């Protein structure tokens, strides 16, 4: 080998080592994927004098990162996709429509994850082409780049997932703050509740508060769907209920009409809310209620063992722009009576035989009146009933007993 050729070979080797070092430093410097790809292209096109370059990566679908010197990428994309499906990992020289190219696969765990296509334009002697001359180096350099792209995508996904997780955590904390604390448990009134979100945040909600006439008001609701959007809509519902009561009083019918408008405005027809609200009037010993498409509340008279299901009168809120004509309903509510409100996650939980827990089991638990509060007794019954089967939905329970 002549001195000149030896010097060129050493110079080429040094350049390749320098190129690998530059790419590695760029990766360590946390340059963007676009910047890394641009640097890689310059090395191949400007320094190695390769006039045509295509780079495809595969991860569920193909992505073309570089299109340099090729006019029509479609035929090459189809070709490398066939190679990808056949798990080809060998370098190939092929001719397609009078174009001579080198197809270099980049593999991971024995399967291709990317292909780089190098062409030399009108070069007829492929054996003299820079594509062939540098194909092993290009394979190494491309492997470094593709792994860097994969790692960056994984980091981006991890960061995005962490952000979502933080949002879910904040929504869960917000939701927990919205649920009433220190529910009354005394000789005159016993209120207990249970809440379990199917995911990290749920779309169920309940509330309880006293009224100025020594009465009380209770409500429970269920937003269609789950997740953050359901939680925020539910927070909006709760805020409006409490704001209405503070500023406008205790007219249940007017509250429901306004709530329907609020939900229609906030949800844009994408979600709706089933809602049950009841107000105890001590002077009449009666319960006034409105049920908007919600599961029927159970009114149980412990002394007589009689019961009533307080079913829906109108559709769920946000289902239609204008509610049909309706009025609140009234029922007697005396000492030792109990109002049980719940969401559909309670009645829809299934056992291994795919039977739903249903309203009959709720009634049976109430009739037994075991030690402990009602919500606790119901959840114990559910645990025995489901026998290891998963929860299907959020569950909220609210019990008020005189």
Query: Which residue from 183, 233, 182, 181 is spatially nearest to 204, judged by alpha carbons?
Result: 233
Rg, Å, the chain Cα set = 34
Query: Which residue from 293, 235, 291, 220 is spatially nearest to 266, judged by alpha carbons?
Result: 235
Q: Is CATH 3.40.50.200 correct for 179-401?
A: no
- Give per-residue pLDDT as tens, 174-199: 666 677 888 888 888 999 999 887 76
With a CB cutoff of 8 Å and minimum separation 6, the contacts of 259 are 237, 240, 241, 244, 273, 275, 317
With a CB cutoff of 8 Å and minimum separation 6, the contacts of 309 are 296, 297, 298, 299, 359
Locate 246 and state its tokens: 């503070």
Q: Read out DSSP for 136-170? A: HHHHHHHHHHHHHHHHHHHHHHHHHHHHHHHHHHH
Query: Which residue from 18, 13, 51 is spatially nearest to 130, judged by alpha carbons?
Result: 51
**Ramachandran region of residue 6, left (φ > 0), alpha (ψ -120 to 50) or beta?**
alpha
* CA 64 to chain CA mean position, Å: 29
Distance CA 88, CA 85 (A): 8
Which residues of the chain are in CATH 3.30.450.40 domains? 3-157
Q: Are 265 and 236 in contact (CB under 8 A)?
A: no
DSSP-assigned beta bridge partners for residue 92? 103
In 302-390, DSSP assigns E strands to: 306-310, 329-332, 337-342
Positions of the chain with pLDDT under 70: 1-15, 60, 96-99, 121-128, 163-165, 167-177, 199-202, 226-227, 370-371
Residue 192 confidence (pLDDT): 92
Maximum CA extent, the chain: 113
CATH topology of domain 3-157: Beta-Lactamase (3.30.450)
What is residue 377's three-state secondary structure? Answer: helix
Q: Are 55 and 68 in contact (CB under 8 A)?
A: no
Q: Are 217 and 241 in contact (CB under 8 A)?
A: no
Distance CA 216, CA 399 (A): 13
Which residues of the chain are in CATH 3.60.40.10 domains? 179-401
Distance CA 104, CA 67 (A): 15
DSSP-assigned beta bridge partners for residue 208? 218
């Amino acid at each position: 080998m002549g001195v000149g050729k030896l010097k060129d070979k050493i110079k080429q080797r040094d350049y390749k080592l320098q190129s690998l070092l530059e790419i590695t430093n760029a990766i360590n410097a946390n340059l963007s994927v676009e910047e890394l790809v641009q640097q890689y292209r310059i090395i191949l096109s400007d320094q190695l004098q390769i006039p045509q370059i295509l780079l495809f990566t595969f991860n569920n679908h193909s992505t073309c990162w570089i299109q340099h010197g090729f006019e029509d990428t479609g035929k090459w994309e189809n070709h490398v996709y066939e190679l990808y499906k056949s798990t080809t990992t060998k370098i190939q020289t092929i001719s397609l429509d009078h174009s001579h190219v080198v197809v270099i696969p980049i593999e991971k765990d024995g399967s291709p994850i990317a292909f780089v296509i190098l062409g030399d334009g009108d070069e007829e002697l492929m054996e003299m082409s820079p594509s062939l001359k540098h194909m092993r180096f290009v394979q190494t350099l491309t492997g470094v780049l593709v792994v860097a792209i994969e790692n960056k995508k994984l980091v981006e996904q991890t960061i995005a997932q962490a952000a979502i997780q933080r949002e879910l955590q904040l929504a869960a904390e917000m939701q927990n703050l919205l649920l009433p604390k220190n529910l009354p448990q005394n000789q005159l009134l016993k209120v207990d509740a249970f809440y379990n979100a199917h995911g990290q945040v749920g779309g169920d909600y309940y509330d309880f508060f006293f009224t100025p006439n020594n009465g009380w008001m209770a409500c429970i609701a269920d937003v269609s769907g789950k997740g953050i959007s359901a939680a925020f809509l539910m927070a909006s519902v709760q805020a409006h209920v409490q704001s209405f009561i503070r500023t406008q009083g205790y007219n249940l019918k007017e509250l429901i009409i306004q709530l329907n408008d609020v939900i229609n405005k906030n949800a844009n027809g994408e979600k709706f809310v089933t809602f049950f609200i009841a107000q105890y009037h001590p002077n009449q010993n009666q319960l006034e209620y409105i049920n908007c498409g919600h599961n029927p509340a159970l009114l149980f008279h412990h002394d007589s063992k009689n019961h009533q299901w307080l079913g829906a009168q109108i559709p769920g809120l946000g289902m239609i722009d204008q509610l049909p004509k309706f009025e609140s309903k009234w029922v007697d509510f005396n000492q030792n009576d109990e109002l049980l409100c719940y969401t559909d996650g309670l009645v829809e939980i299934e056992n291994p035989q795919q039977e739903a827990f249903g309203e009959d089991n709720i009634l049976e638990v109430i009739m037994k009146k075991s030690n402990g509060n009602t919500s606790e007794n119901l959840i114990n019954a559910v645990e025995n009933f489901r026998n290891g089967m998963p929860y299907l939905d959020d569950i909220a329970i609210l019990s008020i007993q005189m």
